A = this chain, B = another copy of it.
């Protein structure tokens, strides 16, 4: 008997609604609540780090399996992130493939481009973080990095925080910042430095590949939320002085020695009892008040899975994509 699966290229994933940020925010908040209820099976993701012959980091390939019991869906994201792709090959930094599987039989249901899903769900995680962690009355946001993830984060932030009065955007390439200014549905402007964007902002989102910890504590307002989507963008004093420290999956972050939080914890400078999970934050409700808050999500397979499953169902309804056979007739059946 033929085994058929749906194949969705990026254009199909778009037609199936991946750029609907309201839906993505709903997905992410929902999967966090499912995690709180123990409905998500998700081993830590497994990364292979690759290096150039000179020993400098080339990129990584990451396997991210998950299973959401209450939705009855399992799957994996196979994620590539290669730092020099744009300049070396004219390829994006990230390229992802998602396979969805039926958790009753293990049969594959769909294979799809996961590249935009990754960007959108990462942006939506920042959006959910802002909704629950922004200080009271937050209205000005800074976005550092207007690449694929930065754009998604900007769009998700505007969906999550309808009361924003201004978004200041900085990118090393001004043209990228300007393009995003025009995409955002709020007052937005391109500024000349990270510092200019960050000073006087209530919410700061960094989405860069920098490891230089360029954001200084002295630039920050007393009451503000820092969301670190890259992993080493804020100087250590920002982390150490934050009253609220939130991550998504501490066990997964702990395994990555190059993350600032991990290094501070390993060096004994940060007690892990101070670290809260965004899952608990969403369960307990918005963190009211002010002070310095720091949110550093590393990304979780269940986020990809819930978005990919919605895309899959919409694609089925709309008749998008093509059918592939895994086999026409299994050999040795």
Which residues of chain A have a CB within 8 Å of any CB of chain B? 1, 3, 7, 9-11, 14, 41, 43-44, 46-48, 50, 58-59, 61, 63-67, 74, 76, 78, 80-82, 85, 88-92, 95, 97, 99, 101, 103-108, 111, 113, 115-116, 119, 147-148, 151-152, 324-328, 330-333
Q: Which of B46, B58, B151, B331 contacts A10 (CB 8 A)?
A: B331
Given contacts A115-B326, A326-B10, A327-B10, contact A106 B90 (CB under 8 A): no
The answer on a CB contact under 8 Å between B115 and A89 is no
A39 CB to nearest chain B CB (Å): 13
The answer on a CB contact under 8 Å between A331 and B7 is no
The answer on a CB contact under 8 Å between A63 and B63 is yes
- 7 A-B residue pairings within 8 Å (CB atoms): A3-B95, A7-B324, A61-B74, A76-B78, A78-B108, A82-B105, A95-B107
Known: A95-B105, A147-B332. 13 other contacts (CB 8 A): A10-B326, A10-B327, A41-B50, A46-B46, A50-B74, A58-B104, A61-B65, A80-B101, A85-B105, A92-B333, A113-B327, A116-B332, A119-B332
A215 CB to nearest chain B CB (Å): 24
Given contacts A10-B330, A78-B76, A92-B330, contact A101 B43 (CB under 8 A): no
